[in-house]
């Protein structure tokens, strides 16, 4: 029909990439807005500005799309600690908690949604668990190190401790941000929460008093 130079092969694939990207972005918006179950393929396509049929060009199902969306989330929760944190385990714990809490807060709705969807989507579950395992592994390594150096007691296995403490922080975020009623957010002092999590965590490992010193304690303790 149309005579002209043959289209460059990557022109098409670039268009494809764009359409695909629009769908992923739209999915996150729609999922956050109406929840995963209430999100209709039509809604996502409309939000992306493409036809429903195009959805099936790139994805097999809503689940696959959620996996795609979820894939990008986990790294953000456990970025490598900044170089300037120093070797003090207390400071490292605080930095880790701060990063986790802040990143969770930013993506709270979609994270909670992914977590819930985990129950009925084994593939997503595997993805989720892998992300979680990375977090726990880092904590576990850290505890193992502390145990070796004698800084923390050995009466609880590093594996179990890591699971429990990482879970503690995660659960706090999930409650505080993930289940938050978006229309009526609760007052919450995020820094106070990070401090509290860190204090409880370090004490649970019997790190606070001997290692951090009285000055660190003074800083966060309210009543002497």
Partner DNA sequence: GATGAATGAGAATTCATTCAT
Partner DNA sequence: TATGAATGAATTCTCATTCAT
In the complex, which residues of this chain contact a copy of itself (CB under 8 A)? 1-2, 4-5, 35, 37-38, 112-113, 116, 118-120, 125, 153-157, 160-161, 163-165, 167-168, 170-172, 174-175, 179, 192-193, 195-197, 199-201, 203-206, 209, 214, 216-217, 220-223
Separation between Cα atoms, residue 197 and residue 194, nearest integer Å: 5
**With binding defined as CB under 7 A, does residue 123 bind DNA?**
no
Residue 4 binding result from a copy of itself, DNA, none, given CB thresholds of 5 to 8 Å by partner type? a copy of itself
Cα–Cα distance measured from residue 197 to residue 184, given in angstroms and rounded to the nearest whole number: 24
Task: Return the one option of DNA, a copy of itself, none that residue 11 interacts with (CB less than 5 to 8 A, by type).
Answer: DNA
Q: Is 204 in the site for DNA (CB under 7 A)?
A: no
Site membership for DNA, residue 52 (CB under 7 A):
yes
Residue 123, binding choice from a copy of itself, DNA, none, Cβ under 5 to 8 Å by partner class: none
**Residue nearer to a copy of itself on the CB measure, 81 or 164:** 164
The answer to whether the beta carbons of residues 139 and 89 sit under 8 Å apart is no
Given DNA, a copy of itself, none, residue 141, with its beta carbon under 5 to 8 Å by kind, binds none
Please tell me the distance from the alpha carbon of residue 67 to that of residue 69, in angstroms, as a whole number: 5
CB 36 within 8 A of CB 28: no
- How far CA 109 is from CA of 29, 96, 120, 168, in Å, comes to 10, 21, 18, 19
Q: Is 53 in the site for DNA (CB under 7 A)?
A: yes
> Of 13-21, 68-76, 98-106, 107-115, which segment contacts DNA by CB under 7 A?
13-21
The correct pick among 62, 109, 132, 170 for binding DNA (CB under 7 A) is: 62
Rounded distance, CA 109 to CA 100, Å?
15
Name which of DNA, a copy of itself, none residue 50 binds, using a CB cut-off of 5 to 8 Å depending on partner kind: DNA
Closest CB 137 distance from DNA, rounded Å: 35
- Are 43 and 34 spatial neighbours (Cβ–Cβ below 8 Å)? yes
Q: 87: Cβ–Cβ under 8 A, 6 or more apart, which residues?
A: none
Outline where 35-157 has alpha helix (H): 41-48, 52-58, 62-71, 73-77, 89-106, 108-117, 122-148
Residues of this chain that bind DNA (CB under 7 A): 11-13, 15-16, 18-19, 40-42, 50-58, 60-62
């Amino acid at each position: 029909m149309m005579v002209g130079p043959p289209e460059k092969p990557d022109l098409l694939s670039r268009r494809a990439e764009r359409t695909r990207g629009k769908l992923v972005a739209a999915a996150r918006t729609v999922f956050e807005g109406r929840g995963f179950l209430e999100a209709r393929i039509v809604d996502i396509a409309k939000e992306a500005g493409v036809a429903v049929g195009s959805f099936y060009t790139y994805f097999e199902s809503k689940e696959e799309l959620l996996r795609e969306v979820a894939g990008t989330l986990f790294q953000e929760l456990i970025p490598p600690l900044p170089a300037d944190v120093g070797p003090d385990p207390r400071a490292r714990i605080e930095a880790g908690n701060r990063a986790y809490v802040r990143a969770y807060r930013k993506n709270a709705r979609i994270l909670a949604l992914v977590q819930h969807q985990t129950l009925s989507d084994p593939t997503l579950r595997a993805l989720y668990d892998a992300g979680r395992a990375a977090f726990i592994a880092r904590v576990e390594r850290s505890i193992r190190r502390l145990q070796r150096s004698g800084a923390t007691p050995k009466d609880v296995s590093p594996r179990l401790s890591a699971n429990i403490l990482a879970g503690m922080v995660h659960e706090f975020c999930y409650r505080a941000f993930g289940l938050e009623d978006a229309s009526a957010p609760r007052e919450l002092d995020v820094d106070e929460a990070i401090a509290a999590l860190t204090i409880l965590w370090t004490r649970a490992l019997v790190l606070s008093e001997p290692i951090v010193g009285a000055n660190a304690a003074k800083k966060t303790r309210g009543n002497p």
